[in-house]
Structure 1
């Protein structure tokens, strides 16, 4: 993927961290671990949302990392 981005000239506008992340997208172990962490985050976020709904305030659901 990185080579494809380099040949098309797309890496000029991203920082070093983003470049390293793009290189990890070819690593199957990284993708597996990333997806496990992502799913755990989503589960914990949903638990937190349900706990927040018990408070006497209006909670607006969100797809972002905040409510």
Structure 2
């Protein structure tokens, strides 16, 4: 999958992978259509960081979740 292109499909893929990796129970709040298109690169950076790690501390999960919330459309 070519994540360099800002598409709804790529955004959905990255969000689903982040939710799986972080075992997010409240993943329903994260939807691709609610994210700001202009911050696609930020989402990709978060995705790449999450994909590269196998374990996360509680504080890391909180920080990632907070950052994802920042990307949502106002």
Q: TM-score, normalised by structure 2?
A: 0.27
- The structure with more radius of gyration: 1
Structure ranking higher on relative contact order (CA contacts 8 Å, 6+ apart): 2
User: TM-score normalised to the size of structure 1?
Assistant: 0.29
